[in-house]
Amino acid sequence: MDWKIVIDSLPLYVGGIRTTLVLLAISLASSFLLSVPLAVARVSPRLWLSRPVWFFTYVLRGTPLLVQLFIIYHGLAQFEAVRESMAWVLLKNAWFCAWLAFTMNSTAYTTEIFAGALKATANGEIEAARAYGLSGLKLYSRVLLPSALRRALPQYSNEVVGLMHATAIASTVTLVDITRVARDVNANHLLVTESFGVAAVIYFVLTFSLVGIFKLLERRFLRHLRTQSVGAAVARA
């Protein structure tokens, strides 16, 4: 292991980590905001609302993210109408394309996760809420969503880690993330441990930091579901 190369390339990796994290943060924020209303539409009994959402998630979950990114980044340039339009300023930018692809892809998976949690709501909870005169928006914002989003936390944390790993694909469209830095270091020095090995360690640390954050969130938001240990219950009695 050549530590000099690792130390020399450290500033590059720091930049790569920043790119990866920024991409993750902006994609997560936008996909979360889109997923909540889409999940509500997905579980709606009105077919004209739920069907299009089902179709959207089915298509995006049925195709590889790499191909989705290529369609947006390489594909859209095929049309002169796109190249002449106002949107071209954004669409020729790799950052924008990566953000758009990751947001759409993550929205599809997150919508299904939230919709699943909504469907798992106990019927009595809805009946009680209706009995208190809640309906429509209030029913969702006060009762259904707070409990469904909590219940979705464990699965949502998987999706967040998955999206973090998926950002490695951004390295194929000129973005200099952790993976791109590793590929460049490998290309320059032909040393695998110093390039992909270092990247692997960084991703590993990031993964377990995210897992840790979600453990804390679960402890905070799923406190009511934690089983009390027998010992503690006996001691209290």
Partner 1 sequence: MLHGYLPAILEGLVLTLKVSALSLAIACVFGLIGASAKLSESRAARWSAEVYTTLIRGLPELVLMLLIFYGGQIGINRLADAQGWGYIDIPPFLAGVLTIGFIFGAYLTETFRGAILAVPRGQAEAGLAFALSRTQVLWRIVLPQMVRHAIPGFANNWLIMIKASALVSIIGLDDMVHRAGLAAATTRAPFTFYMAVALIYLTLTSVSIFVLSRVEARYSLGVKKVQF
Site residues (vs partner 1, CB under 8 A): 59, 61-68, 70-71, 74-79, 164-169, 171-172, 178-179, 182-183, 186, 192-193, 196-197, 199-200, 203-204, 207-208
Q: Which is nearer to partner 1, 41 or 194 (CB)?
A: 194
Q: Which is nearer to partner 1, 71 or 126 (CB)?
A: 71
Q: Which is nearer to partner 1, 69 or 145 (CB)?
A: 69
Residue 44 Cα distances to 110, 161, 186, angstroms: 17, 29, 51
CA dist., res. 135 & res. 45, Å (int): 15
Other C-beta atoms lying within 10 Å of the C-beta of residue 56: 17
Closest to 28 measured CA to CA, from 99, 91, 90, 95: 99
Contact 61/53 with Cβ under 8 angstroms? no
Tokens of 181: 């830095």
CB of 105 to partner 1, least distance (A): 10
Contact 10/199 with Cβ under 8 angstroms? no
Query: The tokens 């360690």 sit on which residue?
Result: 201
Q: Which is nearer to partner 1, 73 or 99 (CB)?
A: 73
CB of 231 to partner 1, least distance (A): 26
CB of 236 to partner 1, least distance (A): 33
Q: Which is nearer to partner 1, 141 or 193 (CB)?
A: 193
Q: Which is nearer to partner 1, 71 or 134 (CB)?
A: 71
E-state strands within 129-174? none
Packing angle, helices 198-221 and 10-42, rounded to 10: 40
Closest to 185 measured CA to CA, from 193, 195, 172: 195
Tokens of 16: 């790569």
